[in-house]
Amino acid sequence: MFTLLALSLAYLLGCFSTAYYLVRWRTGEDVRAHGSGNAGATNAWRVLGAWGFVVTLAGDAGKGVLALLLASALTGGNPWAVALSVPAVVAGHIWPLQLGFRGGEGFATALGAFALLDPAMTGAMVALALSLAGVTRKRSLAGLAALLGALFWTLLLGRPTSQLLALLLTLPMMLWAFRRHLRTLLPSMSRREE
């Protein structure tokens, strides 16, 4: 009963779109009408500048952390409920009910949630993503590498099965949300091979 409540609350918490409400409050506009069309930190940067990016990143990562803390409190620290709160909060971010199921890509939310679930893995994946982004200048490639790296990290280091399940459920959702970037990234990679 409390696990179902925790997962439902995680989804609803994920539905709070920091970029959407911040941009709406500051400009009266819908952030999804700009740039990539997503309700995320990069689009908030496009509309509000660097401070919009920082506030959105902190808010979205914060709701990932809060969802796991809430699940832990409600279920007495049940590792399965805590781990399954990761895909629930990310699903809320990607498909927010009140915004017609059009949200962001879920990276900052997943970052916050996984930082609480496995700080070492998250630190390593952030380092990987920042390094790749610095070298390639492709945020999408860096994000994809971090997602796949997290999966390999979890498998190779024998992390708990609950954490593996959280990743296996979260990864396809984020790849779906990331599909537009993948379509542009794959052709550019194949051109390099020629």
CB 171 within 8 A of CB 151: yes
The pLDDT score that the predictor gives to residue 190 is 45
Widest Cα–Cα separation across the chain = 56
Strand segments, DSSP code E, in 19-163 are none
**Which residues, given as ranges, of the chain have pLDDT below 70?**
185-194
Mind listing the pLDDT tens digit for each residue in 162-174?
A: 989 999 999 999 8
The pLDDT score that the predictor gives to residue 71 is 96
Contacts of 136 (CB under 8 A, 6+ apart): 142
The pLDDT score that the predictor gives to residue 124 is 87
Helix/strand/coil for 137? coil
Return the sign of the alpha-carbon dihedral for residues 44, 45, 48, 53. Answer: positive
What is the H or E stretch that residue 131 is in? helix 119-136
